[in-house]
Amino acid sequence: MKRVVFIADSLDNAYRFQRILSGLDAEVAASSTVQMRKNLTDKAPCDLLIFEARGAAFSRLDEALTLGDERISAVLVIVDEQDVGRLALPDSVPSDFVVQGASDDECTVRMRRLLRMEDESTGTSDVIIVDSMTINLATYQVTVAGQPVDFTYLEYALLSFLAKHPGRTFSRDALLSRVWGFDYYGGSRTVDVHVRRIRAKLGPDLAQHLETVRGVGYLWNA
């Protein structure tokens, strides 16, 4: 079981992430920044540190990383939108951030990625190139003919997941499990909605790569 250390001073994020994390196979140790020393200085490994860097706590991220030392394997930072430009993520471990108020879906996908709860067997390249499209897996950016395409995070996550598994068919339920990372109560047809939006944004030529397998689901034909 993965171990997550969650540090936050606001009750809204404490309650919210407690709910989100309950859907993952993880042991969670939570505290405020005032009490974070105990959870970060014990000898147990920390597979993921989630740190709310908001308000006065923004300047304490480095302190938390120092306290955790080499036991921290990955970091997810919660930050206010106006502070994104001055946020310096650690480069010693895999790290990412979410803006305050990000959807539960986005938070779940980013946490699962940092906890390595998704299939990474298709290679280590950070870039996927198909015809005129480039998917940068390190920066979450997609360009077509050199122009950026504005995908929502889940549209991007679905596109990149399928592109990382070319020629493999996934059912709608499998995609919900692998991309959304939890049981989506709105129903599996939400995958169809996201596929339609992805195809529309890619344009007719690239959209042909995202094929519908009748009665099963979808595949990416590279």
Which residues, including other chains, have CB under 8 Å from residue 84's CB and lie 6 or more apart?
A: 97, 99
Give pLDDT, residue 173: 84
- Helix H, strand E, coil C: the string for 190-201 is HHHHHHHHHHHH
Percentage above 70 pLDDT, the chain = 93
Mean pLDDT score, 50-61 = 94
Q: Which of 65-79, 108-122, 136-150 has the lowest mean pLDDT?
A: 108-122
Q: What is d(CA 177, CA 173) in angstroms, rounded to the nearest whole number?
A: 6
- Which residue's entry shows tokens 């970091």? 75
Q: Confirm or reject CATH 3.40.50.300 for domain 2-114, answering yes or no.
A: no
Candidates 35, 65, 70, 67; CA nearest to 50 is 65
Express each pLDDT in 21-45 by its tens digit.
887 778 899 999 999 998 888 878 8
Q: What is d(CA 123, CA 134) in angstroms, rounded to the nearest whole number?
A: 16
Give pLDDT, residue 119: 44
Give pLDDT, residue 117: 62
Q: What is d(CA 216, CA 218) in angstroms, rounded to the nearest whole number?
A: 7
Residue 120 has pLDDT above 80, yes or no: no
Give pLDDT, residue 181: 66
Give the domain ranges of the chain: 2-114, 153-220
Give pLDDT, residue 121: 42
Give pLDDT, residue 176: 82
Q: Tokens in use for 209?
A: 């790569």
Fold of 153-220: Arc Repressor Mutant, subunit A (1.10.10)
Which residues, including other chains, have CB under 8 Å from residue 208's CB and lie 6 or more apart?
A: 221
What's the one-letter identity of residue 139?
A: T
